Amino acid sequence: MFDIKVCPSRQVVLVRFHGLLSEDDFSSLDRLASQARGRAEYDCVFDLSQVERVDLATEFVAKRGSLPQAFTNRERIYVVPQDDLKLLTRLYASYQAAEGWRPPSIVATLDEALATLGVSLSEFQAVPLPPA
């Protein structure tokens, strides 16, 4: 599951995953991204710090790593304090680099990610998600 918040003034989106992280989460994000195509581009922070369980096959991570990033000239930062999840995120980043795309940054805390982008959590507004 995930929630989305946005800081329109800085063009930053924050996706906060929690509980179980699965392929369905990424399918849902892809659907939302396709609906937003052609709009403004955003820096993206993917906060995985509240993920309790991971149900992602290595093959799935590799396949996603071969896809181009949605906003080519914007930052992508993954917040990953868990060692096992950090390995999958690094695998994804390696595939991105192998494809010639800029790999995302990986940090341990949300504060680090937000500081990198010069934004504070209080600047974000919740985005209502459509029913699944």
How far apart are alpha carbons 77 and 44 in whole angstroms? Answer: 6
Tokens in use for 53? 């369980």
Question: Angle CA(85)–CA(101)–CA(105) in degrees, nearest 5?
Answer: 40
pLDDT of residue 33: 79
Q: Are the C-beta atoms of 79 and 109 separated by less than 8 Å?
A: yes
Tell me what pLDDT residue 82 has. 95
Count of other CB atoms within 10 angstroms of residue 40: 9
First to last CA, the chain: 11
Q: What is the pLDDT of residues 46-57, one digit of tens each?
A: 999 999 999 999
Which one of 1.25.60.10, 2.40.30.10, 3.30.750.24, 3.90.420.10 gives the CATH number of domain 2-127?
Answer: 3.30.750.24
Domain ranges of the chain: 2-127
Calculate Rg over the CA atoms of the chain.
14
What is the pTM for the complete model shown? 0.94
Residue 107: predicted pLDDT = 98
DSSP designation for 7: E
Convert the pLDDT of each residue in 69-102 to its tens digit: 888 889 999 999 999 999 999 999 999 999 999 9
